[in-house]
Amino acid sequence: MKIIVLMKQVANKDAILRINRDATWIEEGDLSFEVNESDGYALEESLRLKEKHGGEVVVCTMGAQRAKSVIKDALARGADRAIHVVKDDLLNLTPYAGAKILAEAIRGEQPDLVMTGLQSDDNGFAQTGVILAELLGLPHATIVIEVDASGEQLRVKRELESGWYQWYTMPKPALLTIQSGISQIRYATLKGIMAAKKKEIKEVAPAATDPAAPSQRVTKVYFPQKTKQTQFLGDGNAKAGAAQLAEKLRSEARVF
Amino acid sequence: MPNGIIIFTEHRDGAFNKASFEAVAAGQQLGATLGQPVSAVVLSADANVAQGLADYKLDRVVSVENAKLSEYTPDGYADALESAVRALDPAYVLMPHTYLVRDFAPKLAARFGKDVISDCVRASVDGGAVTFSRRIFLGKIDADVVESMPVEVGEVRMKPEAPFQEVKAAVDLSKAEVIVAIGRGIKGQDNIQLAQQLADALGAELAASRPICDAGWLPIDRQIGSSGQTVAPKLYVALGISGAIQHLVGMKNARTIVAVNKDPEAPIFDIADYGIVGDLFEVVPTLVEEIKKLKG
Ligand SMILES: Cc1cc2nc3c(=O)[nH]c(=O)nc-3n(C[C@H](O)[C@H](O)[C@H](O)COP(=O)(O)OP(=O)(O)OC[C@H]3O[C@@H](n4cnc5c(N)ncnc54)[C@H](O)[C@@H]3O)c2cc1C
């Protein structure tokens, strides 16, 4: 089974975000980056499927050269090779335009399965995978929390709201967007890191996108307006804040 | 010329969900501002389902019908709505941001060479141009007529089984009066005992955001949020939780919300009554001590 797993590099979750001068995006200069959370789970699930059913796992990343760290890490964990669509600026790329570029980058691979995370932690469009499936003519399922690839058809468990689930059956090839928590993510071993050095990373240029105006464009980014009057306690002093909070919980909130 | 607004409404066996009414309200508001007609579309195998919207004030309710729409599939819904959108030729298609919509809407948009502006919280109109702010909306509305539109649905490749819940949750957090919840800020499984001490001092149940349950540090039946439990305790203490919308929907109705987070911009503070900007590992031990003192 040939599995292509799409992985995106995003700003580190613990980063304190600041808005850039033009208010068009965040200030990226001093940020560190990491792999998008659910993409890490998509890779893990792909590796497990390969271990069970044989085949190959190909990582595909679109992004600047710094995104190589995502690829190298995936190869160290056990992916077999990688496709890097080198594109410096993803900022004004709509989900449709991005999916189009990715579709052209992987179309020739004829995968049995395409796996993505269910959304990126930065833009959070939650669309790239589904649009990609449509462009490649594949059936898809989103928010997938379990995959059974042992039969002729794929059987996948989808998460619904409020603790409900549902199984779907569909033919292969297919595209799945993976929910975080589907399995426990392995660490790269030293052996894996050494082996990764010999693995192929193919760089490709992005296919030309439509010159037509994009269907959506970010005009401004800003911190949300606060809607609730929060009483901030301690004024930077954690211990003082804790003491005040205990008192408020008793006298105002009356929880004890 | 495309004109008007159509609103996709979601139902299960004829019962519309709350998010759909929120989308109707948003559509109604946008329609009023733009001076455009507003219609709702209902996908179903059964014409009667659309009657559920008859009392809402809409220009029309279109019942999009095909036997293959008796249960949800992304192939079936995308085909049906594509036909409806081409026939009605609206300027805007509005949808509630639910898990079901996330599953098919990008596919539908792709058929028009477009994508979705997902997770909207606001639409503002300036000289006929609409600017959408992303995240979600709230409100209420009404309708008049129902018309029927049979549509073609092509091959449906995915076969759904009946939805189910995992074995009954061992803990029912919806009954808890006080909840201490931990997020990724707790850093390691070993640190959970610190939160447990606070829970003990307050007589609280322990709960968590998704990443904690994903990592297996706490069982999934302690997860709060859109995929987990929805709670409304007297007191909810959020330790090292950023406040993503999927978490907030599960706990925003708590009577008193306390947030401890070292990031002053964390969205959890937007709904907190009391906030401490600081390191939870400094705050919690003192808090436990002080509560014990006050309790005597
Ligand atoms: C379809 C879908 C369903 C989902 N369902 C759920 C759900 O049911 N429940 C849920 O919770 N999430 C859910 N999520 C995930 C959600 O989007 C967030 O990713 C998640 O809630 C983040 O958890 P967190 O706040 O613990 O982690 P983070 O967002 O990483 O936040 C950690 C916070 O801890 C703070 N912090 C770090 N160290 C310290 C310290 N020492 N002291 C104080 N503060 C510190 C940081 O400043 C940060 O704000 C879902 C997502 C999707 C896409």
Most confident of A14-18, A69-73, B90-94, B243-247: A69-73
Determine the Cα–Cα distance for residues B22 and A64; give it in Å rounded to an integer.
39
- pTM > 0.90: yes
Superfamily of domain B173-295: TPP-binding domain (3.40.50.1220)
B226 Cβ below 6 A of ligand 1: yes
- Among protein residues, the one whose CA lies closest to atom 41 of ligand 1: B279
The answer to whether B248 and B241 have CB atoms below 8 angstroms apart is no
pLDDT greater at residue B263 or residue A194:
A194
pLDDT band at A152 (very low <50, low <70, confident <90, very high): very high
CB B237 within 8 A of CB B223: no
Residue B147: per-residue pLDDT: 52
What CATH number belongs to B5-116?
3.40.50.620
Mean pLDDT value across residues A220-241: 88
A168 to B276: CB separation less than 8 angstroms, yes or no: no
Q: Is A246 left (phi over 0), alpha (psi -120 to 50) or beta?
A: alpha
pLDDT score for B144? 33
Please list every residue in chain A whose beta carbon sits closer than 8 Å to the beta carbon of residue B154: none
Residue A20, chain B, CB below 8 Å: the answer is no
Cα–Cα–Cα angle for B47, B74, A150, nearest 5°? 130
Set of chain A residues whose Cβ sits within 8 Å of the Cβ of B269? 226, 230
Assign A110 a pLDDT band (cuts: 50, 70, 90): very high
Query: Does residue A144 line the site of ligand 1, with CB under 6 A?
Result: no
Q: Residue count of chain A, please give it.
A: 256
What is the tens place of the pLDDT at every residue in B16-40? 999 999 999 999 999 999 999 999 9
Question: Helices (H) and strands (E) in chain B — how many of each?
Answer: 7, 16
Distance CA B152, CA B87 (A): 12
Distance (Å) from the alpha carbon of B158 to chain A's nearest alpha carbon = 4
Record: contact A130-B103, CB cut-off 8 A: yes
Residue B139 has what pLDDT? 18
Q: Residue A154: pLDDT above 80?
A: yes
What does the pLDDT read at residue A69?
A: 97
Do A164 and B163 lie within an 8 Å CB cutoff?
Answer: yes
Instruction: Please tell me the distance from the alpha carbon of residue A63 to that of residue A49, in angstroms, as a whole number.
Output: 26
**Looking at residue B126, what is its pLDDT?**
83
Task: State which residue of chain B sits closest to A177, comparing Cα positions.
Answer: B103
Q: Tokens 């800003």 correspond to what residue?
A: A222
| Contact predicate B6/B108, CB 8 Å | no
Chain B residue with CA closest to A126: the answer is B102
Task: Please state the atom number of ligand 1 nearest to the C-alpha of residue B225.
Answer: 8
- pLDDT tens figures, B214-239: 999 999 999 999 999 999 999 999 99
pLDDT at B168 over 70: no
Question: Facing residues of B36 across strands?
Answer: none
Mean pLDDT computed over B269-289? 96
CA of B237 to the centre of ligand 1 (A): 14
- CB within 8 Å of chain A, chain B residues 99-158: 99-100, 102-107, 109-111, 113-119, 131, 134-135, 157-158
Q: What is the mean pLDDT of residues A236-243?
A: 95
Nearest by CB to B273, from A170, A219, A231: name it.
Answer: A231
Q: Mapping DSSP to helix (H, G, I), strand (E, B) and coil, where does residue A25 land? A: coil
What is the C-alpha separation between A156 and A167, in angstroms, rounded? 5
pLDDT bracket for residue A97 (50, 70, 90): very high
> Which of A40, A33, A45, A147 lies closest to B211 in space, CA to CA?
A40
What is d(CA B252, CA B271) in angstroms, rounded to the nearest whole number?
7
pLDDT at residue B145 in the model: 38
**Residue B209 tokens, joined:** 């955001």
> Residue B169 has what pLDDT?
67
Q: Do B210 and A181 touch (CB under 8 A)?
A: yes
Residues A100 and A103: their CA atoms lie apart, in Å, by 5
* CATH 3.40.50.1220 domain range(s) in chain B: 173-295
Does the structural domain A2-204 have CATH classification 1.20.1440.230?
no
Percent of chain B with pLDDT over 90: 77
pLDDT at position B186, please? 98
Q: How far apart are the first and last CA of chain B?
A: 73
The pLDDT assigned to B275 comes to 97
Q: Which pLDDT belongs to residue B136? A: 27
Give the ipTM.
Answer: 0.92
Is residue B166 within 8 A of residue A163, CB to CB? The reply is yes
| Partner-chain contact A245 B276, CB within 8 Å | yes
* Extents of the domains making up chain A: 2-204, 226-256
For the four alpha carbons of B211, B216, B218 and B222, in that order, the dihedral sign comes to: positive
- The Cα B42–Cα A54 span in angstroms is 44
Contact B141, B18 (CB under 8 A): no
A134 contacts in B (CB within 8 Å)?
78, 106-107, 110-111
Percent of chain A as helix, strand, coil, to the nearest 5: 30, 25, 45
Q: pLDDT confidence of A211, banded at 50, 70, 90? A: low
A-chain CB neighbours of B95 within 8 Å are: none
Cα B23 from Cα A26, distance rounded (Å): 30
Q: How far apart are CA B202 and CA B238, in angstroms?
A: 14
The C-alpha angle with vertex B152 and arms to A125 and B88, in degrees rounded to 5, equals: 65
Mean pLDDT of B91-100: 94
User: Is residue A164 within 8 angstroms of chain B, CB to CB?
Assistant: yes
% of chain A surpassing 90 pLDDT: 77
> Residue B142 has what pLDDT?
23
**Nearest residue of B to residue A170, measured between CA atoms:** B158
Nearest to B36 by CA among B2, B83, B85: B2
- The residue assigned the tokens 């082996």 is A195
Q: Tell me the nearest-neighbour CA distance from A51 into chain B, angstroms.
A: 22
Cα A13–Cα A44–Cα B97 angle in degrees, nearest 5 = 55
